[in-house]
Structure 1
Amino acid sequence: MPAKVKRDAPTACSKCGHPLIPLGQEGMSVFWRACAAAWLAAIWLFALPAAAAANAAPANASVSPEAEAFNRSAEALYAAALKGDMAELRKSVRETEQRLRSLPMKGVASAEGIEALARSVAVMKRAIAPVSANPANWQGPAAEIRLAADALVHPDKPMWHRYRAVLAEDVRGIGQALEDTGGIAKAKEALGRLQAHYAIIRTSVLLRSEPYLTERADSVLRYAERVLGAATPDPRLLAGLVPSLQDAMEGLFPGQRDTQTAVIAPAAGPPWGWSALMGTFIVTVLSWAGWQRYRRAEPVTPRGSLPPERRERR
């Protein structure tokens, strides 16, 4: 039986500070105020590192050695980012970049996934380049790389699937804010959290799914930003905002991609009498056009016969 590998999920969003693994009383109060059930689910989904190590799924036997090596580098990178050890962090970033270059395309859903992963590594390199680097600038990319590497070696149960509850909570927060009078400002804050959390898993989604899923999510998020950012938001557009966000976010995860696709219902067809009338009209027009063409057709004189004007009348 293969040894179980420790898989530490990102603990908190570096962009908005929203706790992804319960950390102290502050993170507890946020989820408890939202919903007691959501809090209990969050404890189960985002367990502490010790619990994650105990319940981690073993690596897939079909995973390439290059992907395993990249995952180990990403784990070291993320651990160094949490500790703030710049020397170890720079070393891990260099190693991760080298491992990235040797990753095979087998098991990657699209070239866009590798491109997004390379972009995350490039952002990480720029974040640690300054002498006095800001930890807030590298924690986000480190989490993206960590989750993406895990998605490559654990395609069946990757850690980024745990963000399903986080995104759903963010969308619910937008809906609750819109129900309150003058809640546009709170809705914008909730949308910012949703965008930050989505950005952390976007690379992982591209590695395992078709690009149209992230393109749809990107489009819906931009649309929500425009609707909420209007000087006077349209109530009709606000009413359809939460369902659109729910469909786009749920569609990122397995089990929802076939049922959450937005479609436009076809209009009801015309009655039978109208179809019969239109059919009769079309036949009449075609018959009239054929008769007119026949009338304008030049007469054909058979070979060896005189033209009509020179024939003798009998």
Structure 2
Amino acid sequence: MFGDRRGRRVGFLLLLAAVCLLGTSCASGRGKETPPQPQLSEAQRQQAELLNQSAEELYQKALQGDVSGSRTSLIQISDLTTGLTFEGLTTVEGMNALTQTITEAKKVFQAVRYQPAEGQVSAAKLRLAADALIHKNQPLWLQHYKTLQEDVNALEKSAAEGSREALRQSAADLREHIGLLHPSLLISRDGADVAKLDSLVSFVGTQTDGSAEHFRNVQNAAAPLRQTIDKLFMKKEATAYLPYPEPPHPILWTTAFGSVILAALAFAGWRLSKKDGGLTTVRRGGEETF
């Protein structure tokens, strides 16, 4: 199980490397984009581009195992962020997400025992966030749509098969990948939509103990997860909602509800029978008969 997870992480990091390397080659295509915001000053745009370049250098150095160079790039990124005016670039949530990502990266690269895998993930998260700040229409994180869809498919399959271990692994993979893209999502998208995704991912994480009810809840959550991801990736308009857990004994609930209805009908019939001594007036040809 741990070998499979390690393989998926390595594969995901390789995908990140390929996407980030493509960032430079796609520059000509991005030249056709609409500028991030008309009100951006030239100085502001240049500073944001320098931040993006520094984040790219950080990621490349992290891949090469250059810890000292990565720390230097982080200092440059921190200085550029401090002097950057975020108005027109992103929201307050996006600004906080970027600064928090930088703070987390500093902790990783300044740790006494540096972990290369954590450094690469931290650098990749910052790389995607900086790119999202300057490229509004086609940020690099959009290329990870397939990864999230595969995570949801694996989640749904493991729940359908009733595999607790596979379900836990799938939920962990989804949470990890969403975490990597989370700062970029807050920079590029409405915070309310990101919060809906967070709620769904959190809900799924609480439904992995292997009970039949939780398996059903995860299967019910698959559709709104896809809808929310589609909306964030602008694949189609979708309304996200939280799945409500099914009652533990649906048959008993149905029986009880039916009993309440029958009791109400019986009471209504008894009240009618007592009206006028149980007699009902019938009009026929202007006469009243009983």
The residue identity in structure 1 corresponding to 2:12 is L
Specify every segment of 5 or more residues in structure 1 that has no aligned partner in the other structure, as ranges: 1-12, 24-44, 265-314
Q: Give 1:208 shift.
A: 1.4
Equivalence map 1:157-176=2 (5 Å): 157-176=138-157
Partner residue of 2:200 out of 192, 197, 220 = 220
- Change in CA separation of 1:65 and 1:14 when aligned onto 2, cut-off 3 Å: farther
Is the 8 Å Cα contact of residues 129 and 183 (structure 2) preserved in structure 1? yes
**Which residue among 177, 188, 191 is the counterpart of 1:197?**
177
More helix by share: 2
Spell out the pairing of 1:111-126 with structure 2 (5 A cutoff).
111-126=92-107
Q: Which amino acid aligns with 1:108?
A: L
Distance 1:261 1:108, change over 3 A: farther
What aligned pairs does 1:75-224 form with structure 2 within 5 A after superposition? 75-180=56-161, 182-224=162-204
Q: 2:232 aligns to what SS in structure 1?
A: coil
CA contact (8 A) 2:105 2:123 kept: yes
Residue matched to 1:54:
25
Distance 2:106 2:20 in 1: 26
Deviation of 1:228 after TM superposition, in Å, equals: 1.7
* Deviation at residue 261 of structure 1 after TM alignment: 3.6
Name the aligned partner's letter for residue 108 of structure 2: A
Distance in 2 separating the partners of 1:262 and 1:231: 23
Asked if the contact 1:117–1:148 (Cα under 8 Å) also holds between the matched residues in 2, the reply is: yes
1:173 Cα deviation after fit: 0.8
Aligned AA for 1:200? L
In the alignment, structure 1 residue 69 sits paired with structure 2 residue 50: yes
What letter is aligned with 1:54? S
Which of the two has higher C-alpha Rg? 1
Q: 1:212 to 1:134 in 2, by over 3 A?
A: same
Distance 1:46 1:137 in 2: 15
59-68 vs 105-114, which moves further: 59-68
The percentage of counterpart residues that share the same residue type is 24
Distance 1:200 1:55, change over 3 A: same
Task: Name the CA distance, whole Å, in 2 between partners of 1:108 and 1:229.
Answer: 42
What corresponds to 2:9 in structure 1? 17
Q: Deviations over 1:106-140 (max 9, x none)?
A: 33342011101111100111111134311122222
Alignment-derived partner of residue 6 in structure 1: none
Cα pair 1:16 1:196 within 8 Å, conserved = no
1:171/1:246 contact within 8 Å kept: yes
**Is the contact between residue 164 and residue 210 of structure 2 (CA under 8 Å) also seen in structure 1?**
no
The letter for the 2-side match of 1:128 is: F
Distance 1:179 1:96, change over 3 A: same
CA change 1:172–1:94 in 2 (3 A) is: same
Q: Say what the alpha-carbon RMSD is for the aligned residues.
A: 2.9
The alignment partner of 1:132 has SS state of coil
- Does 2:231 align with 1:259? no
Asked if structure 2 preserves the Cα contact closer than 8 Å seen for 1:66 and 1:104, the reply is no
Q: Secondary structure of the residue that 1:227 maps to in structure 2?
A: coil
Q: Structure 1's 222 and 137: CA in aligned 2 closer, same or farther, altered over 3 A?
A: same
TM-score, length of structure 1 as denominator length: 0.65
* Letter paired with 1:17: R
- Partner of 1:228, secondary structure, is coil
Structure 2 match to 1:34 = none
Aligned counterparts of 1:241 and 1:263: Cα–Cα separation in 2:
7
* 2: CA distance, partners of 1:232 / 1:216: 25
Preserved CA contact (<8 Å) 1:110 1:209: no
Q: Is the 8 A contact 1:15 1:136 kept in 2?
A: no
User: What is the TM-score normalised by the length of structure 2?
Assistant: 0.70
The one of 247, 252, 255 equivalent to 2:227 is 247
